[in-house]
Amino acid sequence: AVADADATTRAVERAGGTVRVEPRSFGDEGRMAQYSDPLGGQFAVWQAGDTKGFELVDAPGSLSWTELYTSDAAAAKEFYGEVLGWQYADMDLPGDAGTYTLITPAGLPQERMHGGLLQVPADALALANGRPYWHPVFDVEDCDATLAKITAIGGGVQMGPQDMEGVGRLAVCLDPSNADFVVLTPPSG
């Protein structure tokens, strides 16, 4: 979400990103534009009009989290911080597995974080032909039952299902076009 898609476009260009689709209006609903970050990670922005954005949140079936997988976390943090004003908090992953960066929108407290950023080796970006990519996480009531539906309609499983302490039960899945996503049943409580 951005306040001004035209200003965001100028910020993307100043920060070394690429404009894939110039800002365009969708009547009174809002404006949208699409970009690539300097390493090729694709993203879009929405300037709200009558349609504010996601209407379903914190409920089964909603997008609950997004993660950027990139080969250069420092460059990504600099770019998105400059363009979108994001704030970051780093945390060490267990077993010396690296650093995970929590992303919080500009000016909001850390409890409003909406995603993460993870540096991965280049070969881990094969699904996106070597480009960084955003990895969506969807809340579901029952991870195992959802996974059964996914595989029944032609999707695949990369990992799981498994329980992750403090996160919930999750599975990393593939749609029939090999785009990956996560289904997550958050912990009760």
DSSP codes joined into one string, 84-147 = H--EEEEEEPGGG--EEEEEE-TTS-GGG--EEEEE--GGGGGGGTTS-EEEEEEE-S-HHHHH
Residue with tokens 């070969």: 123
Whether residue 70 is predicted with pLDDT greater than 70 in this model: the reply is yes
Q: Are residues 159 and 107 in the same domain?
A: yes
Q: At what angle do helices 73-84 and 5-14 cross, to 10 degrees?
A: 140
Could you give the CA distance from residue 17 to residue 75 in angstroms, rounded to a whole number? Answer: 11
Whether residue 110 is predicted with pLDDT greater than 70 in this model: the reply is yes
- What's the number of domains the chain is made of? 2
Q: Are residues 75 and 144 in the same domain?
A: yes
**Structure letter (DSSP) for residue 16:** T
- For residue 188, the model assigns a pLDDT of 81
Cis peptide before 161 (omega within 30 of 0): yes
Rounded average pLDDT over 103-128: 91
pLDDT 10s digits, 6-16? 999 999 999 99
- For residue 134, the model assigns a pLDDT of 93
Say if residues 70 and 132 touch (Cβ distance below 8 Å): yes
Phi, psi of 25 (to 5 degrees): -90, 150
Mean pLDDT of the chain: 93
- For residue 37, the model assigns a pLDDT of 97
**CATH (domain of 39):** 3.10.180.10
- For residue 19, the model assigns a pLDDT of 98
- For residue 165, the model assigns a pLDDT of 83
Task: Give how far Cα 19 sits from Cα of 50, 83, 124, 183, Å.
Answer: 25, 13, 25, 31
Residue with tokens 């094969």: 126
For residue 17, tell me if it sits in a domain.
yes
Rounded average pLDDT over 101-123: 92
Q: pLDDT band for position 189 (50/70/90)?
A: low
For residue 57, tell me if it sits in a domain.
no
pLDDT 10s digits, 21-66? 999 999 999 999 999 999 999 999 999 999 988 878 778 989 999 9
Whether residue 175 is predicted with pLDDT greater than 70 in this model: the reply is yes
Rounded average pLDDT over 142-164: 94
Q: Are residues 35 and 93 in the same domain?
A: no
Range of the domain at 10: 5-48
Q: Are residues 43 and 67 in the same domain?
A: no
- For residue 20, the model assigns a pLDDT of 98
Q: Are residues 81 and 9 in the same domain?
A: no
